[in-house]
Amino acid sequence: MRIAIRAERAEQLISDSYPGASKPLTKSTSVRNPQDPESWRSSPRGERRADTARKFAAIGFYLELASHSPDPLPPGSFPAVFDLADGQRRFPDKGLIKSLLDADLISGQTINNELVFVLTPSGQATFERR
Protein backbone atom coordinates (compact mmCIF):
# COMPACT_ATOMS: atom_id res chain seq x y z
CA MET A 1 0.00 0.00 0.00
CA ARG A 2 1.28 3.45 -0.87
CA ILE A 3 2.77 5.42 2.01
CA ALA A 4 3.71 9.09 1.56
CA ILE A 5 6.97 8.81 3.51
CA ARG A 6 10.42 8.11 2.14
CA ALA A 7 12.46 5.13 3.40
CA GLU A 8 14.99 7.34 5.18
CA ARG A 9 12.22 9.02 7.20
CA ALA A 10 10.55 5.67 8.00
CA GLU A 11 13.83 4.27 9.27
CA GLN A 12 14.42 7.39 11.37
CA LEU A 13 10.94 7.08 12.92
CA ILE A 14 11.52 3.49 14.03
CA SER A 15 15.02 4.30 15.29
CA ASP A 16 13.58 7.12 17.40
CA SER A 17 10.89 4.91 18.94
CA TYR A 18 12.85 1.66 19.37
CA PRO A 19 16.53 1.64 20.37
CA GLY A 20 16.98 -2.13 19.97
CA ALA A 21 19.12 -3.70 17.26
CA SER A 22 16.37 -5.77 15.60
CA LYS A 23 14.14 -3.17 13.95
CA PRO A 24 10.58 -4.33 13.18
CA LEU A 25 10.75 -3.10 9.57
CA THR A 26 12.47 -5.15 6.88
CA LYS A 27 13.57 -4.64 3.28
CA SER A 28 12.68 -8.20 2.35
CA THR A 29 10.43 -10.86 3.76
CA SER A 30 10.33 -14.63 3.85
CA VAL A 31 6.55 -14.45 3.39
CA ARG A 32 5.80 -16.14 0.09
CA ASN A 33 2.66 -14.16 -0.59
CA PRO A 34 2.53 -10.99 1.51
CA GLN A 35 -1.12 -10.43 0.53
CA ASP A 36 -2.20 -13.79 2.06
CA PRO A 37 -2.73 -13.69 5.84
CA GLU A 38 -1.93 -17.41 6.17
CA SER A 39 1.50 -16.83 4.63
CA TRP A 40 2.33 -14.64 7.63
CA ARG A 41 1.46 -17.52 10.01
CA SER A 42 3.82 -20.05 8.44
CA SER A 43 7.09 -20.58 10.22
CA PRO A 44 9.40 -23.52 10.70
CA ARG A 45 10.05 -22.52 14.32
CA GLY A 46 8.11 -21.19 17.24
CA GLU A 47 7.98 -17.44 17.71
CA ARG A 48 8.54 -15.51 20.90
CA ARG A 49 5.59 -14.09 22.79
CA ALA A 50 4.46 -10.74 21.51
CA ASP A 51 4.64 -8.71 24.71
CA THR A 52 7.95 -6.88 24.50
CA ALA A 53 8.96 -3.24 24.11
CA ARG A 54 9.70 -4.09 20.48
CA LYS A 55 6.08 -5.13 19.91
CA PHE A 56 4.70 -1.91 21.38
CA ALA A 57 7.15 0.23 19.38
CA ALA A 58 6.34 -1.73 16.22
CA ILE A 59 2.58 -1.32 16.46
CA GLY A 60 2.89 2.41 17.11
CA PHE A 61 5.30 2.69 14.20
CA TYR A 62 3.15 0.64 11.80
CA LEU A 63 0.09 2.74 12.68
CA GLU A 64 2.13 5.94 12.19
CA LEU A 65 3.24 4.79 8.72
CA ALA A 66 -0.34 3.82 7.86
CA SER A 67 -1.53 7.31 8.80
CA HIS A 68 0.51 8.58 5.82
CA SER A 69 -1.37 6.45 3.30
CA PRO A 70 -3.29 8.44 0.70
CA ASP A 71 -5.79 5.56 0.65
CA PRO A 72 -8.18 5.52 3.61
CA LEU A 73 -7.61 2.70 6.10
CA PRO A 74 -9.79 1.59 9.00
CA PRO A 75 -8.75 2.91 12.42
CA GLY A 76 -6.13 0.74 14.13
CA SER A 77 -4.89 -0.85 10.91
CA PHE A 78 -1.73 -1.01 8.82
CA PRO A 79 -0.79 -2.67 5.52
CA ALA A 80 1.23 -5.86 5.07
CA VAL A 81 3.36 -4.05 2.49
CA PHE A 82 4.59 -0.47 2.78
CA ASP A 83 5.25 1.01 -0.68
CA LEU A 84 7.20 4.11 0.28
CA ALA A 85 7.25 7.45 -1.54
CA ASP A 86 10.75 6.94 -2.93
CA GLY A 87 9.83 3.64 -4.58
CA GLN A 88 11.30 1.44 -1.86
CA ARG A 89 9.26 -1.33 -0.30
CA ARG A 90 9.31 -2.35 3.37
CA PHE A 91 7.54 -5.07 5.35
CA PRO A 92 6.51 -5.57 8.95
CA ASP A 93 8.63 -8.13 10.79
CA LYS A 94 7.25 -11.60 9.98
CA GLY A 95 7.92 -13.16 13.39
CA LEU A 96 6.30 -10.26 15.16
CA ILE A 97 3.23 -10.35 12.88
CA LYS A 98 2.96 -14.12 13.34
CA SER A 99 3.03 -13.77 17.12
CA LEU A 100 0.41 -10.99 17.01
CA LEU A 101 -1.84 -13.10 14.77
CA ASP A 102 -1.38 -16.16 17.00
CA ALA A 103 -2.22 -14.10 20.10
CA ASP A 104 -5.35 -12.73 18.36
CA LEU A 105 -4.10 -9.15 18.77
CA ILE A 106 -4.45 -8.45 15.04
CA SER A 107 -6.43 -9.99 12.20
CA GLY A 108 -6.01 -9.75 8.45
CA GLN A 109 -8.50 -8.23 6.07
CA THR A 110 -8.33 -7.41 2.39
CA ILE A 111 -8.97 -3.81 1.35
CA ASN A 112 -8.66 -2.88 -2.34
CA ASN A 113 -6.91 -6.22 -2.99
CA GLU A 114 -4.26 -5.52 -0.35
CA LEU A 115 -3.79 -7.24 2.99
CA VAL A 116 -4.26 -4.95 5.96
CA PHE A 117 -3.71 -5.98 9.58
CA VAL A 118 -6.35 -4.62 11.96
CA LEU A 119 -6.09 -4.50 15.74
CA THR A 120 -8.68 -6.81 17.28
CA PRO A 121 -10.62 -5.64 20.37
CA SER A 122 -8.02 -7.51 22.45
CA GLY A 123 -5.21 -5.80 20.50
CA GLN A 124 -6.82 -2.40 20.97
CA ALA A 125 -7.05 -2.98 24.72
CA THR A 126 -3.43 -4.18 24.87
CA PHE A 127 -1.94 -1.32 22.88
CA GLU A 128 -4.09 1.45 24.34
CA ARG A 129 -2.71 0.65 27.81
CA ARG A 130 0.63 2.19 26.88
* CATH number of the domain to which 73 belongs: 1.10.10
Q: Please report whether residue 62 resides in a domain.
A: yes
State how many domains the chain has: 1
The span from the CA of 17 to the CA of 93, in Å, is 16
Q: Please report whether residue 29 resides in a domain.
A: no
As a dihedral over the C-alpha atoms of residue 101, residue 105, residue 109, residue 111, rounded to 10 degrees, the angle is: -130
Q: Please report whether residue 30 resides in a domain.
A: no
| Per-residue model confidence (pLDDT) at position 20 | 82
Q: Which residues of the chain fall below pLDDT 50?
A: 47, 51
| Per-residue model confidence (pLDDT) at position 18 | 86
Domain that holds residue 7: 2-18+38-128
